[in-house]
A and B are shown apart, each in its own frame.
Chain A
């Protein structure tokens, strides 16, 4: 099992991959992130993160078919793996656990 916690950007990308199940690729992830975060993304950062997650086994990839778009280059789609899902779950558990510990005080 993957024991380390995810980095913030890593987590975002992994979430997007999971959300766009089987249809996630570089540009679609970039657009989704830009939409959610409201700022423009550098695609190279996404590429790097995807590559590192692939190497850690959090995602797996497959090539799509050749189309007329993108100058005939195939898309590389990413799918979250079991390990990736586990890592996300752990991250959420940890977060909510810690969140629960906040005393119920009204901040005002």
Chain B
């Protein structure tokens, strides 16, 4: 029989089997194999494999010495050698250490941030079943998903669909009516409250310290307050029960009774509020509207075991079944996912903050890769020196595995040291980092995270050490000791390739930083807004009288006083219940609606395109102003003077304003209608102040405010600050990316610096000879710099198209964005080249000026 048992299985057997049993087992297995081969060779092969595997058990596994490579004495030797190596090559060691520490610090910070982001809103016990119902409406540019839903929806869902355990509708605390003042006896406190229907605390399982979830919101005048509010007002939660508080807000005011107390909301929640009031109470002043109107948010708690996908498709057309004039669709999203996925396309969540998380994870990986590359480059560059050591050790009898272990020990040692240093640095940087990110890290540090980070550090050490370890230990002792070691082309290519990679990544990062910060600046400059929000403050009022308005206008520093406000970025209510002459049947345009009063358009310097602004001199209050988008959507020609029916009431179009941005720049201009509200119903007042006189103006306004609202605090906001808050995420990304790009560049330069130092050192003799033969300093500098210049140039060529593509993609997400300019790409390129020269230059110049006699005298 010519058949042989499978070699690999045999090899495996020989590897693990204890020697005193190997021959017996091997012999028996082969005998069985030979027998079976006569019947079915293929099966025999498999059986052999299988049998070998069966023998892989403690009885036959030889006493493994996995730690023989790490035996105490050897380990001590490795450590000693590493330590001496560090002492001998202080600069390399420091470069490695600094590089790796910086890299790990970045990665740790990113990891902490990502970990925190991923935990936002995930604290509710019933998180898995808690969903928000969203509405997808037909916007001017395709489908648009909004939070506002029809008022009757929550109840209908609970009644009609068996999957729904509880449903609730909520007027969020960010609405006008949600910002108010609590008065208890003599105490006045500003607070934000939401209005929610009965089952709110069933749907959101915030723990209740006092009260029963099914009871707390059953009374119209019941209010559930937060733990901290209870303590501030009544000393303790238990004490608060049944006490009366007075609530004043622009929409709702009156006495109510504490019916429950909820535990403080964790920091990593998106939704913060101090009290929950009854939805029915809210309805007293604001009629709910029908299926076509939208304002409350709708949340449902699904029964355990309900498949969200099935439920989603089930409710898709729910609105149409209720009212066949409505074409908007319902969408469903897990409440805790809203934070990370808030960007919708055609009713499906496609991204949002998660994009930034992915981006930063990517940046973290790149930074770590750059740091690893430094380590590899420097270690292999020193090969010439180290390889002799390897030769001697091999001659004396060291196995390759021991040498590999030695180098890995070295790199792991650096990695662990860096890990410790980085942990210290992170601890020191956390306050600053929190300031930038607006978080309260570390709140979620757990063992898993710490172990994970340590794991990252160790893997980094292994990866960084693997190439040098394999490369150095692989040399043949004889060749090395004969001095025949040449640096092969392949090695040079690898090294150059690694630098190329480093620089390309750094370049892409720099370009991204420039583009991101330009775009953010552009957004925040507000030039494209359509109105002027500089020097405008606004504050909440409750039925302001004429006298107060006059008093405000009489302040010399105040330029203009308008009733109402435009709040940046808040998705306000709206309606598609707008009728006009010649409206096509299928036109379901959703109009955002703003209630504003006299003078606001002037205060904000909005441009009137046609007609006029709201004016008291024209008596009728049934006036409406459209923006250009709305006019276009309606297809009206000559709109001024036309009558519209909005929510059943007829109003006359008195003017058209040019389009303005009131929502995020991610979205296009939207059609909107500005409705005239009598001054005394204006929930807020906006005031334009003469620039430079803010302080005095505010002081005087506070006086006026307090004469009309005694005992209340004058709380105002600058309109442009609102915008900064709106783009807080982008701002943070912009600042963070600046830091991280800086770090990446520093690490790359460190590597380049080390390599240049080394190259200059190795070519000392060559330089000496060249100088003796008449070469000038400049020529030598050019020669030494040329190599690196070429690499950086190639990196520029590689990085430019890549960064162009990335930047373009990012910008396209904004409806309004800057154009890419050529200098965004040229500047980083020049910068990179300049930095490279600077880094290499110091070394080269030093090398070039060395007296050749000194270098040539050696040997």
Q: Which residues of A contact B (CB under 8 A)?
A: 25-27, 30, 42-44, 47-48, 51-52, 63, 69-71, 73-76
Interface centre among B25, B34, B57 (most CB of A within 10 A): B25
Expressed in whole angstroms, the Cα–Cα distance for A63 and B34 within the complex equals 21
Residues from chain A with Cβ under 8 Å of B34 in the complex: 69-70
Expressed in whole angstroms, the Cα–Cα distance for A76 and B24 within the complex equals 6
Known: A27-B28, A43-B29. A76 touches B23 (CB 8 A): yes
Q: Are A51 and B21 in touch, CB under 8 angstroms?
A: yes
A41 to chain B, nearest CB (A): 10
Q: Are B23 and A51 in touch, CB under 8 angstroms?
A: no
B3 to chain A, nearest CB (A): 11
Expressed in whole angstroms, the Cα–Cα distance for A26 and B24 within the complex equals 8
Expressed in whole angstroms, the Cα–Cα distance for A107 and B92 within the complex equals 90
B15-36 at interface with A (beta carbon < 8 Å): 21, 23-32, 34
For the complex of A and B, list the 10 residue pairs with the smallest distance between their C-beta atoms, beginning with the closest. Answer: A73-B27, A44-B54, A26-B28, A76-B24, A70-B27, A70-B31, A71-B30, A44-B55, A27-B31, A48-B59
Residue from A30, A51, A73 in contact with B30 in the complex, judged by beta carbons closer than 8 Å: A73
Q: Does B60 contact A (CB under 8 A)?
A: yes
Q: Could you pull out 9 A-B pairs where Cβ atoms are within 8 angstroms?
A: A27-B28, A27-B32, A42-B51, A43-B28, A43-B54, A63-B23, A70-B28, A70-B34, A73-B27
Residues from chain A with Cβ under 8 Å of B5 in the complex: 71
Among residues of B, the one whose C-beta sits closest to the C-beta of A44 is B54
Known: A48-B59, A70-B27, A73-B27. A43 touches B21 (CB 8 A): no
Expressed in whole angstroms, the Cα–Cα distance for A63 and B23 within the complex equals 10
Residues from chain A with Cβ under 8 Å of B23 in the complex: 63, 73-74, 76
Residues from chain A with Cβ under 8 Å of B59 in the complex: 47-48, 51-52
Expressed in whole angstroms, the Cα–Cα distance for A63 and B30 within the complex equals 17
- Interface size for B (C-beta < 8 A) is 19
B47 to chain A, nearest CB (A): 10
Residue from B25, B30, B31 in contact with A47 in the complex, judged by beta carbons closer than 8 Å: B25
Q: Are B28 and A25 in touch, CB under 8 angstroms?
A: yes
Residues from chain B with Cβ under 8 Å of A76 in the complex: 23-24, 27
Expressed in whole angstroms, the Cα–Cα distance for A51 and B23 within the complex equals 14
Residues from chain B with Cβ under 8 Å of A63 in the complex: 23
Known: A27-B32, A70-B34. A47 touches B27 (CB 8 A): no
B7 to chain A, nearest CB (A): 12
| Chain A contact surface mostly | helix
Q: Are B54 and A42 in touch, CB under 8 angstroms?
A: yes
Q: Are A44 and B57 in touch, CB under 8 angstroms?
A: yes
Among residues of A, the one whose C-beta sits closest to the C-beta of B22 is A73
| Chain B contact surface mostly | helix
Known: A26-B24, A75-B27. A47 touches B55 (CB 8 A): yes
Residue from A47, A48, A51, A52 in contact with B28 in the complex, judged by beta carbons closer than 8 Å: A47
Q: Which residues of B contact A (CB under 8 A)?
A: 5, 21, 23-32, 34, 51, 54-55, 57, 59-60
Q: Are B60 and A70 in touch, CB under 8 angstroms?
A: no
A54 to chain B, nearest CB (A): 10
Q: Are B31 and A69 in touch, CB under 8 angstroms?
A: yes
Expressed in whole angstroms, the Cα–Cα distance for A44 and B49 within the complex equals 12
Expressed in whole angstroms, the Cα–Cα distance for A74 and B24 within the complex equals 7
Residues from chain B with Cβ under 8 Å of A30 in the complex: 28, 32
Expressed in whole angstroms, the Cα–Cα distance for A52 and B761 within the complex equals 65
B50 to chain A, nearest CB (A): 9
Q: Are B32 and A47 in touch, CB under 8 angstroms?
A: no
Residues from chain A with Cβ under 8 Å of B27 in the complex: 26, 70-71, 73-76
Residues from chain B with Cβ under 8 Å of A69 in the complex: 31, 34
Given contacts A43-B28, A73-B23, A73-B27, list 20 more A-B pairs with CB under 8 A: A25-B28, A27-B31, A27-B32, A42-B51, A43-B32, A44-B51, A44-B54, A44-B55, A47-B25, A47-B28, A47-B60, A48-B60, A51-B21, A52-B59, A71-B26, A71-B27, A71-B30, A74-B24, A76-B23, A76-B27
Known: A44-B57, A48-B57, A48-B59. A70 touches B30 (CB 8 A): yes
Residues from chain A with Cβ under 8 Å of B29 in the complex: 43
Residues from chain A with Cβ under 8 Å of B55 in the complex: 44, 47
Residues from chain B with Cβ under 8 Å of A43 in the complex: 28-29, 32, 51, 54
Residues from chain A with Cβ under 8 Å of B21 in the complex: 47, 51
A63 to chain B, nearest CB (A): 8
Among residues of B, the one whose C-beta sits closest to the C-beta of A29 is B28
Interface centre among B28, B31, B54, B55 (most CB of A within 10 A): B28
Among residues of A, the one whose C-beta sits closest to the C-beta of B50 is A42
Interface centre among A30, A43, A69, A75 (most CB of B within 10 A): A43
Expressed in whole angstroms, the Cα–Cα distance for A63 and B28 within the complex equals 13
B689 to chain A, nearest CB (A): 89
Expressed in whole angstroms, the Cα–Cα distance for A51 and B58 within the complex equals 12
Among residues of A, the one whose C-beta sits closest to the C-beta of B56 is A44
Among residues of A, the one whose C-beta sits closest to the C-beta of B60 is A47
A52 to chain B, nearest CB (A): 8
Residues from chain B with Cβ under 8 Å of A73 in the complex: 23-24, 26-27, 30
Expressed in whole angstroms, the Cα–Cα distance for A48 and B28 within the complex equals 13
Residues from chain B with Cβ under 8 Å of A25 in the complex: 24, 28
Residues from chain B with Cβ under 8 Å of A26 in the complex: 24-25, 27-28
Among residues of B, the one whose C-beta sits closest to the C-beta of A26 is B28
Expressed in whole angstroms, the Cα–Cα distance for A30 and B23 within the complex equals 17
Interface centre among B21, B31, B57, B60 (most CB of A within 10 A): B31
Residues from chain B with Cβ under 8 Å of A70 in the complex: 27-28, 30-31, 34
Expressed in whole angstroms, the Cα–Cα distance for A46 and B120 within the complex equals 58
Residues from chain B with Cβ under 8 Å of A48 in the complex: 57, 59-60
Among residues of A, the one whose C-beta sits closest to the C-beta of B10 is A71
A67 to chain B, nearest CB (A): 10
B77 to chain A, nearest CB (A): 37
A28 to chain B, nearest CB (A): 10
Residues from chain A with Cβ under 8 Å of B60 in the complex: 47-48, 51
Interface centre among A26, A52, A70, A74 (most CB of B within 10 A): A70
Among residues of A, the one whose C-beta sits closest to the C-beta of B25 is A47
Expressed in whole angstroms, the Cα–Cα distance for A52 and B58 within the complex equals 12
Residues from chain B with Cβ under 8 Å of A71 in the complex: 5, 26-27, 30
Residues from chain B with Cβ under 8 Å of A47 in the complex: 21, 24-25, 28, 55, 59-60
A16 to chain B, nearest CB (A): 14
Expressed in whole angstroms, the Cα–Cα distance for A74 and B21 within the complex equals 11
Among residues of B, the one whose C-beta sits closest to the C-beta of A72 is B27
Expressed in whole angstroms, the Cα–Cα distance for A101 and B825 within the complex equals 99
Interface centre among A25, A47, A48 (most CB of B within 10 A): A47
Expressed in whole angstroms, the Cα–Cα distance for A51 and B22 within the complex equals 12
A105 to chain B, nearest CB (A): 45
Interface centre among A44, A48, A52 (most CB of B within 10 A): A44
B9 to chain A, nearest CB (A): 13
Expressed in whole angstroms, the Cα–Cα distance for A63 and B25 within the complex equals 13
B219 to chain A, nearest CB (A): 75
Residues from chain B with Cβ under 8 Å of A42 in the complex: 51, 54
Among residues of A, the one whose C-beta sits closest to the C-beta of B24 is A76
Expressed in whole angstroms, the Cα–Cα distance for A61 and B432 within the complex equals 74
B24 to chain A, nearest CB (A): 4
Residues from chain A with Cβ under 8 Å of B31 in the complex: 27, 69-70
B99 to chain A, nearest CB (A): 51
Expressed in whole angstroms, the Cα–Cα distance for A43 and B24 within the complex equals 11
Expressed in whole angstroms, the Cα–Cα distance for A76 and B26 within the complex equals 11
Expressed in whole angstroms, the Cα–Cα distance for A48 and B59 within the complex equals 7
Expressed in whole angstroms, the Cα–Cα distance for A91 and B29 within the complex equals 32
Expressed in whole angstroms, the Cα–Cα distance for A87 and B256 within the complex equals 90
Residues from chain A with Cβ under 8 Å of B28 in the complex: 25-27, 30, 43, 47, 70
Expressed in whole angstroms, the Cα–Cα distance for A91 and B490 within the complex equals 72
A100 to chain B, nearest CB (A): 38
Expressed in whole angstroms, the Cα–Cα distance for A66 and B26 within the complex equals 14
Among residues of A, the one whose C-beta sits closest to the C-beta of B18 is A51
Expressed in whole angstroms, the Cα–Cα distance for A75 and B21 within the complex equals 11
Expressed in whole angstroms, the Cα–Cα distance for A75 and B31 within the complex equals 10
Expressed in whole angstroms, the Cα–Cα distance for A96 and B23 within the complex equals 40
A61 to chain B, nearest CB (A): 8
Residues from chain A with Cβ under 8 Å of B54 in the complex: 42-44
